[in-house]
Structure 1
Amino acid sequence: MTMGNVAESNKTFGEEKIGKLLLKFSVPAIISLMVSEMYNMVDSMFLGQAIGADAIGALTIAFPIQRLFLAISMLIAIGASTSVARSCGDEDYENLRTIIPNAIVLMLIIVCTISAGIFIFQDTIIKGLGASKNIFPLAKDYVSIILLGVLFQSFTVIASYIITAFGNTKIVLLSTSLGAIFNVIIDYLLINVFSYGIKGAAIATVISQIIAFIYVLTEFMKIKNDLKFSIKLTLNKAVSIGIIYVGFSTFIVEISDAIVAAILNNLLSSYGGDMAIVTVGLTTRVSMFLFMTVMGISSAMQPIAAYNYGAGNYTRLKEVVKTSIIAVSVSSTILWAIFMIFAEPLIGIFINDSAIIESTAKAFRIIIAVFPCLGIYYLAISYCQAINRVKASFKLSIYRQLIIFIPLVYTLVIGLDMGVLGAWLAYPISDVISFITAAIFIKYTYISLEILEMHQIYKINKAKFTKARLANANI
C-alpha cells in the first residue's frame, strides 16, 4: 500500500458517489460478517444433524466465549481502522506508522492473557455459563480446542479492518470466505466421514482460522513494507487509549451478546431445562443473518463518515448519514419479512426435530417482531464513533442489552412470572425503546453537524471577504 494508493483511497472516500460508495463497502462487509459467523453456524448445522440437541446446547454454552474474543478483536479493529481512516483524511501519514503496530501488540497482549485464563479455569467457566451434566463434556471438548485458534482469528479481523480503512473493500470478504470454505470442507470430513463429533468441529474451526490468517498476513506485510513500520512488544499509551476509547462501544455491543447469552442460559435452564438453552442457541444463530445486514451497512458507513469528518466535509457527511439510514431501513425490512415467513425452514437447517423447530419458530417470531427498528440503533453507534462522539456511542452501545434488556428480562421472567415467554417478549420491547433513543441521538448530532457546517461557511466567507478587502486596499 503506497502513498499513491492512500491518496486514491482519499479520493474514493471524499469524492465518489455516496450511494455507490456505501454499496461498494456494504456488500463485502455484509458477506464477510455472514461468512465469519459461519464458523459457529456450520458447526451447529453439522453437529445438530449428526448428534442432535445436546450438541446445539454445547455450542450455545461455548458461544459467549467465542463472542468474547470476537468482541476484543472488533474493539481493536474498529478503534484502529477508524484512526487510520481519520489519519488518511487529515493526510497524517506518519501517525499510521504508530497506530498499526500498536494495534497488533495490543491484540497479542489482551488475547494471549485472556485465552490462557479461560483455559486454566474452563471447567468453572463452562459450568457457570449454564452447562448441564449432559452438555458439559461436549462443551468442554469444544472450548478447549477453539482456544488454540483465537489468536489467529483476532489478527485476521484486526488486520483486515486496517487494510479496509485504506480503501481495500475485498480483504475482509476474501479472508473470511477462505476460512469459511475450508471450515465447511473440514467439518464435513471430520464429523460426517471420520465421526470425530464435536472435537472434529472445533479442529475444523482452528485449521480454517489459521488458513485465513496466513492469507491476511501476506496482505498485511505489503502495508508494513510500504509504510516501513516495525512491530515491537511495546505500547504507546496515548495511541492504545485512543484505540480502546473509539472501539469500546463496538466491544460493548459484541460482548453484550455474550453476557445476554450467559444470563439466558442460566435463567431459562431452571424454567425450560436444556430445551430452553437449545432454543436460545437456535434463535441466536438464525437471527444472526438479520444482524449481519445491519452491522454490515453500519461498519461500511463508518470509514466513509470518519474520513469526511476528518476532512471537515460536513455537507458530505450529512449525506452519508441520510443515505445509510435509507439503506439500513429498507434492507432490514425486506429481510425481516422473509425471515418471519420462512422461520421454520430456516431453523430446520440446524436441526431435524419437528417439535423443536415448531417451538423455536414461535419464539423466533416474537424475538424479531420489530427488528427493522434496530437498523437505526446500530447505525447511530457507528456514526457517533466515526465523528468522535465516543461518550454518545458508549451510552448507546450499553443501552439496549445491558441497561434495558437484562433488567426487563428478569422483570418479565421472574417478577411477573411469565417464564420463558417473558424472555422472548423482552426482545421487541427493548428494541422499540432503543430505536426511539437512537433516533434522538442521531437528530441531536445531526443538528451539531449543521452548526459546524455554518461555522465552516462563515470562516470561508470571512476569508474571502478579508482577501477581497486587502486586494481593494492594495489598489
Structure 2
Amino acid sequence: MTLGNMAESNKAFGEEKIGKLLLKFSVPAIISLMVAEMYNMVDSMFLGKAIGADAIGALTIAFPIQRLFLAISMLIAVGASTAVARSCGDEDFENLRTIIPNAIVLMLIMVSIIGTGIFIFQDKILISLGASEKIFPLAKDYVSIILIGVLFQSFTLIASYIITAFGNTKIVLFSTSIGAICNVIIDYLLINVFSYGVKGAAIATVISQIIGFIYVLTVFMKIKKELNFSIKLTLNKAVSLGIVYVGFSTFIIEISDAVVAAILNNLLSSYGGDLAIVTVGLTTRVSMFLFMTVMGISSAMQPIAAYNYGAGNYTRLKEVVKTAVIAVSVSSTILWAIFMIFAESLIGIFISDSAIIVGTAKAFRMVIAVFPCLGIYYLSISYCQAINRVKASFKLSIYRQIVVFIPLVYAIVVGLDMGVFGAWLAYPISDVISFITATIFIKYTYTSLEILEMHQIYKKNKAKLIKSRLAPAGI
C-alpha cells in the first residue's frame, strides 16, 4: 500500500455511498471487538460445561483484569486510528510516520508496566476483586497464564484498527478471525480432551493470541515497508499525548466496565455469595454480544466522520451521523428482541445448571430492559472523538458507568436495602438517564453542523459572486 494507493482508498470515505461504507467498516469492527471478547467467552463456554459454576466465578473475577488490558489497547487503537484517518483526510501522509511508531511504543510501555504490576500483586488484587476461598485458586491459575498474552493481544487490536483506518478491511477480517477459531479448537482439546481445566483455557487463549499476532505483524510490517516509516523506541510527547487525548474516552468506557465489575463482585458477594458472582458473570458475557454490535457501528462511523470533518465536508458529515443513528437504533432493537425472547437458551450456552439458567435469565432481562437506548449514547461518544471534541467525549464516557450507575447501585442496593435485585434494577434506570443526555447532545451538535454547513455554503457562493463580477464583460 503506497501513499498514492492509500489516498485513493481513503477517497471512499468522502465519496462512497454512506450506508454501504458504514456496513463495510462495521463488520470488521464488530468482529474485532468480538474476537477481543471471545477469548473470555469461549473459555467460559467450555469451562462452564466441563467444570461448572466455580469456573464461571473464577473467570468473572478475572474479567476486570482482562477488561483493563482491553481498555489500554482501545485507548491507543482509537487514538491512533482516528489520527491516521484525520491525517488521510488532510492528505498529511508524512504525519503517519510519526503516529504509528508512537502508538506501538506507547502500547509496549503501558502494557508491560501494568502487566508486571498485576503479576507481582495478583493475590491481593484477586481477593480485592471478590474471590472467595473456593474460587481464588482457579482465578489465580487463569490470570497467571493470560498475563503472558496481553502484549500480543494489544498489538493485534491496535494494528487492526490502524489498518482499518487506511481503508483496508479484508485483512482485518481475516486476522481477527484466526485467533477466535484457534481458541475454540485449542480450548476443546485442552479442556475436553486433556482435562487441563482453567489452566488449559488460559493456555489456549495465549496460544491463539500469539497466532493472531504473527499474522497481523506480517501484514503490518509489509505496510510499514511500503509507507517507508521506521520504528524507533522513542516517544514524541505531542503525538503520544494526542493519541491518549483522543482515545481516552474509549478507555474510560472500557475501564468503567472493569470498575463496575469489580464493585459488583464485591457488593454482590456480600449479599448473594458466589452464586451472585456467577449470575453477574453470565449476564455480562451474554450482554457483550449486544454491546459488540453497538460499539462496532459506532467505531465504524468514527473514521468516516473524522475523514469528512478533516476534509471540511460538513454536508456529508451530517449524513454520516444520520445514517449511523438509524443503523444503530434498528440493529440494537432487533438484537434486543431476540435476546429477550431467547435469554434462557443463550445463557445455557455457558452453563448446564437449570436453576442458575432460570435465575440468570430474570436478571439478564432486567439488565438489558432498555438496551436500544444505548446505541445513541455510544454513537455520541464516537462522534465527539471524530470531530476532536475530546472534552465532550470524555464527559459522556464517564457519565453512564461512573457518574450515574455506581452511585445509583449503591443507593439502591445498600441505601434502599434492595440487595441483589437492586443491582439489576440500577441498569435500566442509568441507561434511560444516559440516553436522554446523549440525545440532547446529538441534537445540539447536529445544529452546530448545520451552522457550519450554512457558513461554508455562504463562503462558496460569495467566492462565486466575486469571481463573476471580476470576469471580463462579454465572456
d(CA) in 2 for partners of 1:473 and 1:265?
Answer: 80
**Superposition pairs of residues 159-174 of structure 1, within 5 angstroms:** 159-174=159-174
d(CA) in 2 for partners of 1:283 and 1:58?
Answer: 15
Answer yes or no: is 1:320 the counterpart of 2:320: yes
Q: Could you state the TM-score of these two structures normalised by the residue count of structure 2?
A: 0.99
Return the offset for 1:171: 3.1
Higher mean displacement: 13-22 or 456-465? 456-465
The residue that corresponds to 2:420 in the other structure is 420
Answer yes or no: is 1:266 the counterpart of 2:266: yes
The residue that corresponds to 1:188 in the other structure is 188
Answer yes or no: is 1:22 the counterpart of 2:9: no
CA contact (8 A) 2:32 2:157 kept: no
The residue that corresponds to 2:469 in the other structure is 469
Return the offset for 1:399: 0.2
CA contact (8 A) 1:84 1:165 kept: yes
d(CA) in 1 for partners of 2:257 and 2:284?
Answer: 9
1:49-102 CA-to-partner distances (Å, cap 9, x unmatched) read 111111000000000000000000000000000000000000000101100111
Return the offset for 1:474: 11
1:305-332 CA-to-partner distances (Å, cap 9, x unmatched) read 0000000000000000000000000010
Paired letter, 1:16: E
Q: Could you state the TM-score of these two structures normalised by the residue count of structure 1?
A: 0.99
Query: How many correspondences in the alignment?
Result: 475
**Superposition pairs of residues 401-420 of structure 1, within 5 angstroms:** 401-420=401-420
CA contact (8 A) 2:36 2:70 kept: no
d(CA) in 2 for partners of 1:41 and 1:169?
Answer: 24
Answer yes or no: is 1:127 the counterpart of 2:163: no
The residue that corresponds to 1:178 in the other structure is 178
The residue that corresponds to 1:74 in the other structure is 74
The residue that corresponds to 2:211 in the other structure is 211
Q: Mind listing any 5+ residue stretches in structure 2 that lack a counterpart?
A: none
1:363-412 CA-to-partner distances (Å, cap 9, x unmatched) read 00000000000000000100110011111110100000000000000000
d(CA) in 2 for partners of 1:171 and 1:259?
Answer: 33
The residue that corresponds to 1:110 in the other structure is 110
**Superposition pairs of residues 3-402 of structure 1, within 5 angstroms:** 3-402=3-402
Q: Mind listing any 5+ residue stretches in structure 1 that lack a counterpart?
A: none
Paired letter, 2:203: I
CA contact (8 A) 1:157 1:172 kept: no
CA contact (8 A) 2:27 2:296 kept: yes
Return the offset for 1:472: 4.1
1:454 aligned counterpart, secondary structure:
helix
Paired letter, 2:351: I
Higher mean displacement: 194-203 or 1-10? 1-10
d(CA) in 2 for partners of 1:207 and 1:434?
Answer: 39
Return the offset for 1:242: 0.4
Paired letter, 2:81: S
d(CA) in 2 for partners of 1:170 and 1:4?
Answer: 19
d(CA) in 2 for partners of 1:301 and 1:124?
Answer: 41
Paired letter, 2:114: I
1:390-443 CA-to-partner distances (Å, cap 9, x unmatched) read 111101000000000000000000000000000000000000000000011111
Q: Compute the RMSD of aligned alpha carbons.
A: 1.1
Paired letter, 2:195: S
Return the offset for 1:218: 0.7
Return the offset for 1:167: 0.3
2:312 aligned counterpart, secondary structure:
coil
Paired letter, 2:447: I
